[in-house]
Structure 1
Amino acid sequence: MFNLANNLTLARIAAVPILVILLYFPGRITCLVALLFFIAASVTDIMDGMVARHRNLVTTFGKFLDPLADKLLVSSLLIMLTKLGWVEAWVAVIIIGREIAVTGLRAMAIDHGVVIAADRFGKLKTILQMLALCPLVLHYPWFGFDPVPLGNILLYLAVVLTLVSGGNYFYGFGKKVIWAKDASH
């Protein structure tokens, strides 16, 4: 259970309270340090999957923990950035609401013996959310560059992809569970 891949995922979860504390006291330096922690945590998302597949360390625990770590990382930052007034609340509600809805959908699918795996839209959504959060966490202008407009553009694109991805999961659920059941009757 505590193999290298899962430990990388646990490190991503351990970064969450550090990020929250850093953003609780926003300033140029704390935001820069938070950005560096966030980038390091985001890199573990890439590394844990590669390590698990390369070393044959794929576990049920890891399959559960990896998306949970992503949701905790992104959601906690969205909540903190909303608290600071740096992200609009409706954006956080859509992204976090989609995560909760898809998690519930996956639980319902399991009850029907169906596994709804992450698809390319879901993976791209996570990458885009993480890319958008980087300039938003940095927040303050550096060397004449204001990162906030870039972060907002990426975040709005992430919202669109979040909705498309969520719709795709619900469509897949309907196709595999609801409509398949109706067709068998």
Structure 2
Amino acid sequence: MNLPNKLTLLRMILFIPLLVLVILYGVLIQRGIADYEIAGRILLSLILAIFLAAMITDYLDGWLARKNKQVTSFGKLFDPIADKLIVTTTLISLSIFGFIPLWITILFVARDLIVDAIRVLMAQNNIDVKASIWGKLKTLTQTIAIIIVLVVAVAFNFSLILGWKSWLILYAINIPMLVALFFSIFSGYKYFQSIRSYIKTK
């Protein structure tokens, strides 16, 4: 197994501790995080660290595979799976914890499901849909938005903030998330255009 594939495998393994940390933080919220403030901050910090590690390995495995011409079927199949495990789990968790609106996460997930369905359909017809600049912008802005939310969540410990200030902070940190959502929906539309063009040629 080459290095890019090992990094992809590592990212898939990181999903396990991420899920454990998310569950533990959920337990703290149920018990009243005010009584476990330090533990809550530590758990959120670890979630942030795992997410950062996953995103760094995502960049590295793609870069190394292209640079060293080590693109493999394993990487093509499991790289996007690893990405979705990490990103989707993090998004759903942030919505459950109340850091981002649930409807934003639903739209992100719905878009990915539709695009994945399009990719499968195109692959069945031996057509390779290459990643567009819009898809790359979606990934970049989504990653930055999630990091911002996690950093602010660690810094301010939302569950202990009362009044209008907490809502102001929540609205502010979700502005980058809305930007990412725009690129997500628009890139999904561009993918749809690709398959529509194919259908018209049939």
Q: Normalised by the shorter chain, which TM-score bucket?
A: 0.7 to 0.9
Pick one of 190, 196, 199 that aligns with 1:168.
Answer: 190
The alignment yields a C-alpha RMSD, in angstroms, of: 1.7
SS at 2:103's partner residue?
Answer: helix
Larger radius of gyration: 2
Q: Distance in 2 between matches of 1:159 and 1:59?
A: 30
Q: TM-score of the superposition, structure 2-length normalised?
A: 0.81
Pick one of 144, 153, 178 that aligns with 1:156.
Answer: 178
Distance verdict in 2 for CA 1:28–1:148, change over 3 Å: farther
Q: Distance in 2 between matches of 1:58 and 1:89?
A: 36
Flag structure 1 segments of 5+ consecutive residues without an equivalent: none
2:100 and 2:170 in contact (8 A); partners too: no
Shift of 1:82: 1.6
Deviations 1:110-134 (A, max 9, x none): 2222111211111211111111111
Q: Does residue 119 in structure 1 map to residue 128 in structure 2?
A: no
Task: Report the residue type matching 1:20 in the other structure.
Answer: L
Task: Determine what percentage of the aligned residue pairs are the same residue.
Answer: 34
Greater fraction helix: 2
1:135 and 1:150 in contact (8 A); partners too: no
SS at 1:163's partner residue?
Answer: helix
Q: Distance in 2 between matches of 1:151 and 1:113?
A: 41
Task: Report the residue type matching 1:168 in the other structure.
Answer: K
Alignment match, 1:179: 200
Q: Does residue 140 in structure 1 map to residue 139 in structure 2?
A: no
Q: Distance in 1 between matches of 2:187 and 2:173?
A: 20
Flag structure 2 segments of 5+ consecutive residues without an equivalent: 26-39, 157-165
Q: TM-score of the superposition, structure 1-length normalised?
A: 0.88
Task: Report the residue type matching 2:8 in the other structure.
Answer: T
Pick one of 124, 127, 131 that aligns with 2:144.
Answer: 131
Deviations 1:138-171 (A, max 9, x none): 31326xxx97555311111111110000000000
Deviations 1:69-105 (A, max 9, x none): 1111110111111221222111111101111111111
